């Protein structure tokens, strides 16, 4: 493990957040080192991408590689929520580039390799163990090759925690606050031979996907109020299908002594439209995964010598497929703040604060959209309103339409009515 002794920035984690942050910083002329504890391509969930991701990839210069890979273009979304069907197509909101269904192992690998090409020193199979903060020149990161015994130290001006749900620095500093309003779990797996829904609501065999683009299909799960839902995302060789449920479901599976495979398969086949899509499909053995209690935020997003980005900064229920875009947004915003701090070290705290405010308002808007019982009127509401205030007319229309897809986020409409649209030129 020949990690350097010093550099400008250490990025922990090579998911979309880490790879893009390291790319932006390397392109800005800084020596960036990225530590990834796994070897890419690595398994990760979250395959539905809304088209906003293109602008972050354009800035990183990786869009051509993504376009050339031939990921499935999706037409939009169809949602069955307690018997009512609603649809959404991104082209109705001014988007000219497609939303995608991506195999995340492949997509994330492309981003990581691009970071390497852009001059980032990437070390795979190397896990960060933590960082000492408040030491010159900013932080000292301890790391170790996976399976190895020797630790190494890298002195850097800033450490960026992009370690996803592991949240290495967030946990070390005790910044992670579980989202008590969101005690969820998720179980998902991959089917072969599933049909899919096109924008007109008709079912098609997987082979038609290039000619008749699929939608991301979401349905509510009966008996769980507005909390439980299920996704169906057609990929090139398989279909990702998963359930998001209140945490109590986990107990019922354990008590019932059934396997997660049986549970997922039975629940999904019992949902009317999903059952029809899966009629001739098989759940791929060994493909089922479970995650619990994954919603949290951080009480602090940046401080002397550190920035938290992507899922390491916080995570909300993935119903509106904003996780990857939020990760990319935070990577861009953090890279900007770090660059500014390096240019004007005396103003580092100011740039940490700007980053914190920007990300907080985006995360809060995501919470307002995704939380069935979001507390309108709380201090956090002001943060969500700020994000809306800076959204252009198309983005506002999309937020409104998304809030009408389920019965979860009707309060967002009230928030929007209460938030004036920007008067000047569009803000990002």
Ligand X SMILES: Cc1cc2nc3c(=O)[nH]c(=O)nc-3n(C[C@H](O)[C@H](O)[C@H](O)COP(=O)(O)OP(=O)(O)OC[C@H]3O[C@@H](n4cnc5c(N)ncnc54)[C@H](O)[C@@H]3O)c2cc1C
Residues 244-283 within binding reach of ligand X (CB under 6 A) = none
Nearer to ligand X, 31 or 42 (CB): 42
Tell me, by CB under 6 A, how many residues bind ligand X.
Answer: 39
Interface with ligand X includes 54 (CB under 6 A)?
A: no
How far apart (Å, rounded) are the C-alpha atoms in residues 20 and 25? 9
Is residue 346 packed enough to be buried (19+ CB in 10 Å), middle (13-18) or exposed (0-12)?
A: exposed
Output the smallest distance, CB 122 to ligand X, in A: 11
> Any contact of residue 98 with ligand X (CB under 6 A)?
no
Of the candidate residues 155, 203, 290, 291, the single one contacting ligand X (CB under 6 A):
291
* Helix locations, 28-180, DSSP H: 53-60, 63-69, 104-117, 168-172
Does residue 94 come out as left (phi exceeding 0), alpha (psi in the -120 to 50 range) or beta? left
Instruction: Between 46 and 138, name the residue whose CB sits nearer to ligand X.
Output: 46
For residues 51 and 99, the answer to whether their CB atoms sit within 8 Å is yes
Minimum gap (Å) between residue 377 Cβ and ligand X: 28
* Contact in structure between 232 and 239 (CB atoms under 8 Å): yes
The minimum distance between CB 328 and ligand X, in angstroms, equals: 8
Measured distance CA(153)–CA(151) in Å, rounded = 7
Q: Which of 45, 67, 89, 212 binds ligand X (CB under 6 A)?
A: 45
Site for ligand X in 104-163 (CB under 6 A): 127-128, 162-163
How far apart, in whole angstroms, are the C-alpha atoms of residue 102 and residue 89? 18
CA distance linking residue 9 with residue 22, whole number of Å: 8
With binding defined as CB under 6 A, does residue 18 bind ligand X?
yes
When the beta carbons of 74 and 385 are compared against ligand X, the nearer one is 74
Q: Which span sits near ligand X by CB under 6 A: 41-49, 132-140, 258-266, 415-423? A: 41-49
CB of 414 to ligand X, least distance (A): 26
| Residue 26 sits in the site that holds ligand X (CB under 6 A) | no
Residue 65: both structure tokens together: 């590689």
- In the bound state with ligand X, the residue whose beta carbon lies nearer, of 243 and 368, is 243
Please report, as residue ranges, which positions from 67 to 96 form the binding site for ligand X (by CB under 6 A): none
Q: Is the dihedral of CA 145, 149, 152, 158 positive or negative?
A: positive
By beta-carbon proximity to ligand X, the closer residue of 45 and 353 is 45
Tell whether residue 37 is a contact of ligand X (CB under 6 A): yes
Query: Both tokens of residue 114?
Result: 């691009």
CB 288 within 8 A of CB 186: no
Which residues 6+ apart lie within 8 Å of 282 measured at CB? Answer: 191, 192, 193
**Minimum distance between the CB of residue 15 and ligand X, rounded to whole angstroms?**
2
Q: Using CB under 6 A as the criterion, what x/- string covers residues 296-335 for binding ligand X?
A: --------------xxx-----x--xxxx--x--------
> What dihedral angle (degrees, nearest 10) is formed by the CA atoms of 159, 160, 166, 172?
40
How many angstroms separate the CA atoms of 169 and 161, rounded?
Answer: 6
Whole-angstrom CA distances from 345 to 139, 342, 348, 349, 351 are 15, 5, 5, 9, 10
| Separation CA 320–CA 338 (nearest Å) | 29
Told to check if 172 binds ligand X by CB under 6 A, we report no
Please tell me whether residue 16 binds ligand X under the rule CB under 6 A.
yes
Count of CB atoms within 10 A of residue 396's CB?
Answer: 18
Stretch that binds ligand X, among 12-20, 59-67, 263-271, 403-411 (CB under 6 A): 12-20
- Work out which of 3, 8, 14, 332 binds ligand X, going by CB under 6 A: 14
Q: Which residues pair with 396 in a beta bridge?
A: none
Is 214 a binding residue for ligand X by CB under 6 A? The answer is no
| Residues numbered 231-250 forming contacts with ligand X, rule: CB under 6 A | 242
Give whichever of 326 and 348 is closer to ligand X, judged by the CB atom. 326
12 or 115, CB closer to ligand X? 12
Note whether 166 binds ligand X by CB under 6 A.
Answer: yes
| Residues in touch with ligand X (CB under 6 A) | 12-18, 35-38, 42, 44-49, 127-128, 162-164, 166, 168, 186, 188, 242, 291, 294, 310-312, 318, 321-324, 327
């Amino acid at each position: 493990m020949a990690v350097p002794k010093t550099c400008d920035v250490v990025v922990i984690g090579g998911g979309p957040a880490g790879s893009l942050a390291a790319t932006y910083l390397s392109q800005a002329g800084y020596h960036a080192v990225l530590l990834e504890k796994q070897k890419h391509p690595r398994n990760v969930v979250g395959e539905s991408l809304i088209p906003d991701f293109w602008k972050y990839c354009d800035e990183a210069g990786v869009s051509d590689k993504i376009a050339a890979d031939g990921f499935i273009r999706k037409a939009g979304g169809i949602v069955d929520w307690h018997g009512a069907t609603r649809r959404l197509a991104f082209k109705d909101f001014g988007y000219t580039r497609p939303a995608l269904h991506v195999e995340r192992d492949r997509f994330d690998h492309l981003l990581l390799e691009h970071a390497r090409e852009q001059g980032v020193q990437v070390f795979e199979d190397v896990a960060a163990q933590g960082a000492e903060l408040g030491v010159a020149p900013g932080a000292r990161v301890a790391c170790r090759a996976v399976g190895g015994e020797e630790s190494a130290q890298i002195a850097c001006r800033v450490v960026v925690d992009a370690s996803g749900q592991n949240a290495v620095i967030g946990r070390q500093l005790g910044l992670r606050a579980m989202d008590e309003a969101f005690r969820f779990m998720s179980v998902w797996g991959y089917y072969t031979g599933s049909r899919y829904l096109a924008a007109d609501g008709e079912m098609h065999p997987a082979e038609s996907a290039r000619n008749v683009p699929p939608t991301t299909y979401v349905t509510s799960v009966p008996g769980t109020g507005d909390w439980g839902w299920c996704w169906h995302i057609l990929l090139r060789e398989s279909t990702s299908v998963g359930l998001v449920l209140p945490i109590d479901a986990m107990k019922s599976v354990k008590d019932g002594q059934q396997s997660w495979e049986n549970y997922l398969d039975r629940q999904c086949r019992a949902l009317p439209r999903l059952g029809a899509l899966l009629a001739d499909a098989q759940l791929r053995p060994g493909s089922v995964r479970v995650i619990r209690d994954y919603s949290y935020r951080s009480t602090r997003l940046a401080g002397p010598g550190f920035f938290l980005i992507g899922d390491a900064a916080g995570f909300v229920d993935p119903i509106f497929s904003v996780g990857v875009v939020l990760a990319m947004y935070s990577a861009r915003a953090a890279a900007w703040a770090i660059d500014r701090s390096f240019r004007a070290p005396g103003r580092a705290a100011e740039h940490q604060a700007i980053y914190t405010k920007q990300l907080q308002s985006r995360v809060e808007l995501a919470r307002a959209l995704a939380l069935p019982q979001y507390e309108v009127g709380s201090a956090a509401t002001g943060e969500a309103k700020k994000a809306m205030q800076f959204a252009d007319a198309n983005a506002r229309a999309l937020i409104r339409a998304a809030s009408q897809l389920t019965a979860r986020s009707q309060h967002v409409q009230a928030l929007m009515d209460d938030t004036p649209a920007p008067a000047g030129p569009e803000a990002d």
